[in-house]
Amino acid sequence: MSEQLDRFQFLDHFASSHSIATNTDNPQNTKNSIAGNLSRKGLQLLSSRRRFMTALSAGFFLTPGLFAEELMKTPALTEGPFYPDKLPLDTDNDLIIIKDSTTPAVGEITHLSGRILDRNGNPLKDLLIEIWQCDAKAVYLHSAENGREGAKRDKNFQGFGRFTTNTKGEYRFRTIKPIPYPGRPAPHIHYKIKKGDRELLTSQIFIRGHAGNLRDGIFRDNRDIIDRELTMADFKPVKDSKIGEFSARFDIVLGRTPDERELKSKSARR
């Protein structure tokens, strides 16, 4: 009964956000209305019941086993041209303070956290997640930025960080809230996930509801409405913060990941 109510609540939430009339007595009719609406807008039709119900659990609840379906895999997006070509001396998960400095980076401090899971909802430990982004002056930690007119990097912003997930698959970073810049109207944080020397996923995190998203080429090229949901996070003000901090929770779902035996076997063949 509670599972049905959750489904109805989701349908109401999804439909109302897209101006679609709902019928809680017959959620299948609402599903069809949603699919038809997406089709009329030229978006990819959600034709499969399995894909639709999987999207419910992954996009809004991300609760393992809620609908007895696999979670939707987080979509990959381009790495972009500014992965650091020379890593900083400090690569920890606090991008606000570099080593023993007492001067913080310019920008709105954001606590970014989440879990990395497999498609069955199991936490994935000992994965390395890297993030990188431009500073509050719209400059990346990359040599290509050195000669750009007007580019003056915030030397107190680390620009890149790493964290290894714990037994619960959790990660956390302290960084700044991303900003738009010329050519990329959607603020975003780049990330990459690795197991040993193998890259498992490269993608980006966007701010849910930001006005620049639909004008951004990378975001717009991802035409599937569910995949778009899986790349966005809510950046919420931290209650009672005296310095205007934000928090963002972003769970990542990977497809098949290599186990230790596979990695050792590949290493031995090199």
* 243 falls within a domain: yes
Residues 43 and 115 occupy one common structural domain: no
- For 78-116, the pLDDT digits (tens) are 999 999 999 999 999 999 999 999 999 999 999 999 999
**Full-model pTM:** 0.73
* 209 falls within a domain: yes
Residue 146 in tokens: 């050195």
Q: Do residues 79 and 190 make contact, with C-beta atoms less than 8 angstroms apart? A: yes
- Please state, in angstroms and as integers, the Cα–Cα distance from residue 96 to each residue in 103, 107, 113, 235, 254, following that order: 9, 9, 15, 17, 28
Number of domains in the chain: 2
* 64 falls within a domain: no
- Burial string for 88-123 (b: 16+ CB within 10 Å, else e) reads bebeebbbbbbeeeeebbebbbbbbbbbbbbbebeb
Residues 128 and 198 occupy one common structural domain: yes
* 68 falls within a domain: no
Residues 34 and 128 occupy one common structural domain: no
Residue 142 in tokens: 């990359």
pLDDT of amino acid 38: 42
Residues 258 and 164 occupy one common structural domain: yes
Q: In sequence order, what are the beta bridge partners of 225? A: none
Identify the CATH number of the domain in which residue 164 sits: 2.60.130.10
Residues 252 and 172 occupy one common structural domain: yes
Residues 155 and 252 occupy one common structural domain: yes
Residues 42 and 113 occupy one common structural domain: no
Residues 15 and 123 occupy one common structural domain: no
Residues 118 and 201 occupy one common structural domain: yes
- For 9-59, the pLDDT digits (tens) are 444 544 454 444 444 444 444 444 444 444 334 333 333 334 444 444 444
* 121 falls within a domain: yes
Q: Which domain holds residue 251?
A: 109-269
